[in-house]
Amino acid sequence: MDFNIWPTMLIAAFAISISPGAGAVVSMNYGLKYGLKKSYAVILGLQVGYMA
């Protein structure tokens, strides 16, 4: 692999690692709209989905 590609890959890997995933975005969205207590079902559903 050419050395000139490494900085681009490093920047891309850093950007991908700090960006929130879909589950985090859904959790934040429900938490902001409905509050923490009503978003527990979404959080539980995401965790069950991760285990499957």
Query: Residue ranges of the domains in the chain?
Result: 21-52
How far is it, in rounded angstroms, from Cα 22 to Cα 36? Answer: 18
First to last CA, the chain: 37
Per residue in 1-52, pLDDT (tens digit) is 678 888 999 898 888 888 888 888 899 999 999 998 989 999 999 999 989 7
pLDDT on residue 48: 93
Query: How far apart, in whole angstroms, are the C-alpha atoms of residue 27 and residue 40?
Result: 9
Quick one: CA dihedral 19, 24, 29, 35, positive or negative?
A: negative
Enumerate residues 6+ apart whose C-beta is below 8 A from 39: 27, 30, 31
pLDDT score of 1: 67
